[in-house]
Amino acid sequence: MKHTDFAPYPPMGWNSWDCYGAAVNEEQLLGNALYMRDNLLEYGWNLVTCDIQWSEPNAHDVFYTPNAPLTMDEYSRLIPAPNRFPSSAGGKGFLPISRKIHEMGLLFGIHIMRGIPRQAIYQRTKIKGTDMTADMVGDPFSVCGWNSDMYGVNPHSKGAQAYYDSLFELYAEWEIDFVKVDDIAVTGAYSHEPHRNGNMPGVSEIEMIHRAIMKCGRPIILSLSPGPAPIEYAWMFSHNANMWRLTNDVWDNWTAVEHMFERCETWQGRGGDGCWPDCDMLPFGHINVNNRGGDNMCRMTHDEQITMMTLWSIFRSPLIVGAELRDNDEFTLSLLTNSDILRLNKYSHDPDQIFRTRSSAAWYSYEDDPAVGKCYVALFNLKNEPSEVSVDAKDIGGLDLCGCDLYDLWTHESSGVVGEKISKLLPAHGSVIYRVK
């Protein structure tokens, strides 16, 4: 089995970061899983991911504690903090939570930082299956600029691959389905001085993680963060991972969405076949629950949120929502349960940008099932005021669309037929997406 078989469609799910930061606990994790089962599973949302710092007993908000003590086993591997995840006590790890989530018909994922715990290096704890200790494997010159938990792994140490193998052996025992690896996809990871064999550190660790997954016996989906991932390494990402971030964290402001149009333009044509360039999480609904500055509902307008969901979907990005799902309002739920939009994300192919200016953009993608349609066309108004956006029908994928019906995926209504142009007066930061049949 190839790693590309693990994620045949863009993954869809929930991640704890946007609402709980570094301090999610077992009740919150399982509570959101139950909501997903009851309200979103039928629409294809099936992945629940526990984000960063789950091994830190004292994590309590979105911030990281420098040199925080972490919960770790005898083989230098981080394990869940029992005070936050009570079912993990007695060495059970995430297995009890994983099984509860699987019983709901869902998948379970976790976040990890690349590398090996610094405290393992200081304590010289063992590497499973070897006569080596952590200090022989870690690279103290390979550090994360924003989190002090880990040192990178020295790829030239004979225990390096064994460490990653033991890590994913443990995750397979926990029945983990998805692993998000952080501090590994960002451009800076490839711009350092080359390591001793001339290879770049980010590449070496990604390749070791890929090998460990393929050896562990479980089809674990691999997601790489943060971003921006460098386009010149597209070949390497697709050879080793299923998802890789195109940007740093995206939050609930229009500027972040606007910047994504440039990222999508750069990466168009690179997704599909089990490999998915990732536009980052959807900050819809109730977020920042554990933020000291106060929590909030998504601060983008409804039109901006629709534009975000439209771009993510026609580009075929993974769809990972970050809200406290149990607080969803009617509008947020409508974004996540639009079957037409979700079909576009799952089954369309070869998305392509028709044009992009400072004021507008247009994309199209193909639909394989002629009973459903020929293609999709999305128009975006990037201005701060209402504006008409149009595209020449002849510029859409070499298709003869004259006289075809237009169906609006957001209003679920027919919008006339295709003439020489497809046009729409759109609100500020608004969009429309048509299925052409």
Tell me whether residue 90 is exposed, middle or buried, using C-beta atoms within 10 angstroms of its C-beta: 0 to 12, 13 to 18, 19 or more: exposed
pLDDT top residue among 192 and 297: 297
In this prediction, residue 55 has a pLDDT band, given cuts at 50, 70 and 90, of: very high
pLDDT at position 379 over 50: yes
417 vs 221: CA distance, rounded Å: 41
Position 291 scores a pLDDT of: 85
Question: 124 by DSSP, 3-state: which?
Answer: coil
Beta bridge partners of 180: 111, 223
Position 189 scores a pLDDT of: 60
What digits encode the pLDDT tens for the residues 84-129?
A: 999 999 999 999 999 999 999 999 999 999 999 999 999 999 999 9
Position 368 scores a pLDDT of: 87
Position 186 scores a pLDDT of: 73
Cβ atoms of residues 15 and 33 within 8 Å = no
- Separation of CA 124 from chain center: 34
Average pLDDT over residues 192-209: 64
What digits encode the pLDDT tens for the residues 17-49?
A: 999 999 999 999 999 999 999 999 999 999 999
In this prediction, residue 407 has a pLDDT band, given cuts at 50, 70 and 90, of: very high
Q: Which helix (H) or strand (E) holds 340?
A: helix 339-347
In this prediction, residue 198 has a pLDDT band, given cuts at 50, 70 and 90, of: very low
Taking the whole predicted model, whether its pTM rises above 0.85 is answered as yes
Q: What is the mean pLDDT of the chain?
A: 94
In this prediction, residue 195 has a pLDDT band, given cuts at 50, 70 and 90, of: very low
Percent of the chain with pLDDT over 70: 97
Position 7 scores a pLDDT of: 98
Percent of residues in the chain assigned helix, strand, coil, to nearest 5: 35, 25, 45
Cβ atoms of residues 39 and 31 within 8 Å = no
Radius of gyration of the chain (CA): 22
What digits encode the pLDDT tens for the residues 289-336?
A: 988 878 999 999 999 999 999 999 999 999 999 999 999 999 999 999
